[in-house]
Amino acid sequence: MPPRLPAPLTPVVDACVVPSCKSAPFVRSFSSTPCKQKMSRARQQMYQWLKGREGSELAEAKGGPRYLGPLQDQPFPLNPLFRSQPVLDEQTRELIWDKVIMRGEALKAVSAEMGVDVRRVAAVVRLKEVEKQWEREGKKLAIPYAKAVMNMLPKTSYREGEKNLPHEPVNEIHVHKLTMQQLFVPVSESRHFTRQDAAKAFHDTMLSVDARSPQPELIKMEREILQGKTRQDSLAKFKEATQKEEDRVAQRIAREAQREEEATTRVATDRYEFRFKEINADDVGRTGRSRKGTGWRYGAPFDDRKRGLVKIPTSVP
C-alpha cells in the first residue's frame, strides 16, 4: 500500500476558479469544500437541452404561447387530457365592463351575446372595477407583468359587429350526483319519455336540465324562434326579460338595505356613531348556543380559541 500523502494545500479561492463553477472568481465562498470538478452526466445533458433549440425557445418566450407537449395547447407532455384554454384578452374584458357598467346591459344578455359564462362576466366586471379604482387612486398597476403574461397565454377576442366564436359554453349543467348511477326504468314503448320524466326517475325532487339551466330565458328565446317568430323580436324580448330580472334583484337588495337602515337607530357622538338594533333574545335557542342568536347564554363555553379546533375561516364575507 503506497504511503498516504496529505492533499496539497490549495487556497479555498482557487478551488472555485473552475469553469464549471458559476460564482464569480473573486468572491470568497464560505464553504471550504472545493467545487465539484466535473458535472454529472445528467446535469450535462440537461444543460445541453436547455441551451439547445427547444430550451432556448422556451427560455425566451417570444411570440405567443409555447408549451412542452406534442399538441399546441398541451402544457404537460404526458397528459393530453389537460389543455391550456384561451383567456379573454384585454380589449374583450374592457368591452364587457363597458357593456355592463356604462351601457347598463344585463349580465345574462352580455353572457349570451359574447359566449362567456355569466359568472365570468360578473367576475370580469368586478375585477375591472377594482382596476379602475386603482387608476383613480393613482396606484401603480403591474403593466409589464400583465403584458408579458398575456403574451404567453392563448387568447380569445371578441370584436363588436364581427362574427365571433364563443369563449366557453354559456349553458353548462353540473352532473348531479343522483344521475351518476345507471338506472333501468321499464316504460311502455309508446310513452313519450322526456327529460322531466328521466329526472323524476332518478329522484322525486330531482329537477330536469331545463329547470337547472343558468339561462332559462335563452332557452325560451330559442323555443320562440323555432315556433316561427323572428330572431330580432325574440332577442329584444329576451333582453327585456333579463333586464327586468336584474332590476328585480337590484330592487330586492335595495329594499333589504333600507329595511336594515330602518331597524337601526344611529346616535352620533363627537367620537363615535353608535348603532342600535332590536334583537330577539330567544334567537339563541334553548341551549343558548345557536349560531343565529346574538350573544350566548351566560356560562355556555365559547370554543373559538380552544386547542384542536380549526380556526381557519371557512368564508370571508
Partner 1 sequence: MRKPYRFYSLSRPKLRQSWNKYNLYNLYRQTGREPQIKGTPTFFQQKWAAKAKTRSYHGEHIPEKKWVRLFSRRLLSAVDMPPEYLAAHDGSEQAAGRGSGLTTTTVSAETFSKVPKLSTQERSRKRAIFGDVNKLLSDQFSNMTPYMQMTFAPLERRLDTAVFRALFASSVRQARQFVIHGAVTVNGKKMVHPSYQLNPGDLFQVDPEKVMYGTGVQKAQQGNSRLRENLEARQKKAEQAFQNAVKKTSSATAATEGETEGDKAEAEATAAEGEAAEGEAVEGEIIAAEDAGSLTPEAQWQLNNRALKFLLKDVKKILKNNTKDLTAKEKKQLRLFRADAKRFLSQPEKSEGNITELIDELQTQMKSHELMRESFEKLSLKENQAESEVEAESANAAVEEGEHQSELSRERQVEKGLEGLSDEQKTKAKRIMGDAQLSREEMRKLARLLQYDEENPIDDSKPYATPWRPRPYMSAFAFIPRYLEVNPNICAAVYLRHPVARKGMGEVPTPFSYLTSQLTHNWYLERG
Nearest of 189, 214, 213, 218 to residue 199 by alpha carbon: 213
Among positions 18, 61, 236, 279, the unique one binding partner 1 when judged by CB under 8 A: 61
| Candidates 5-13, 84-92, 99-107, 253-261; binding stretch for partner 1 (CB under 8 A) | 84-92
What secondary structure letter does DSSP report for 142?
-
Q: Which is nearer to partner 1, 32 or 315 (CB)?
A: 315
Centroid of chain to Cα 252: 27
Residue list 155-174, contact with partner 1 (CB under 8 A) = 165-166, 168-174
- Contact between 224 and 241 (Cβ < 8 Å): no
Q: How far is the CB of 280 from partner 1 (least distance, A)?
A: 29
**CA distance linking residue 109 with residue 88, whole number of Å:** 18
Residue 281's contacts (CB-CB under 8 Å, 6 or more residues apart) are 293, 294
Nearest of 99, 78, 80 to residue 88 by alpha carbon: 99
249 binds partner 1 (CB under 8 A): no
Binding mask 5-44 for partner 1 (x = CB under 8 A): -----------------------------------x-xx-
Q: Which is nearer to partner 1, 127 or 250 (CB)?
A: 127
Residue with cell 463553477: 21
Among positions 12, 20, 25, 134, the unique one binding partner 1 when judged by CB under 8 A: 134
Q: Which is nearer to partner 1, 181 or 269 (CB)?
A: 181
How far CA 175 is from CA of 1, 120, 149, 179, 208, in Å, comes to 77, 20, 33, 7, 11
274 - beta bridge partners?
267
Q: Which is nearer to partner 1, 140 or 292 (CB)?
A: 140
Among positions 12, 13, 20, 49, the unique one binding partner 1 when judged by CB under 8 A: 49
* Number of residues counted as binding partner 1 (CB under 8 A): 93
- Contact between 23 and 29 (Cβ < 8 Å): yes
1 binds partner 1 (CB under 8 A): no
- Contact between 283 and 296 (Cβ < 8 Å): no
Q: How far is the CB of 300 from partner 1 (least distance, A)?
A: 27
Among positions 98, 222, 245, 246, the unique one binding partner 1 when judged by CB under 8 A: 222
C-alpha torsion 118→120→121→126, nearest 10: 130
Residue list 97-116, contact with partner 1 (CB under 8 A) = 115
183 binds partner 1 (CB under 8 A): no
Centroid of chain to Cα 184: 38
**CA distance linking residue 180 with residue 194, whole number of Å:** 18
For the chain, what is the radius of gyration of the CA atoms? 32
Collapsing DSSP to helix, strand or coil, 110 comes out as helix
Among positions 15, 35, 152, 235, the unique one binding partner 1 when judged by CB under 8 A: 152
218 binds partner 1 (CB under 8 A): yes
Q: Which is nearer to partner 1, 120 or 284 (CB)?
A: 120
| Candidates 103-111, 135-143, 258-266, 292-300; binding stretch for partner 1 (CB under 8 A) | 135-143
117 binds partner 1 (CB under 8 A): yes
Q: Which is nearer to partner 1, 217 or 284 (CB)?
A: 217
Q: Which is nearer to partner 1, 123 or 297 (CB)?
A: 123
Residue list 251-280, contact with partner 1 (CB under 8 A) = none
- Contact between 99 and 108 (Cβ < 8 Å): no
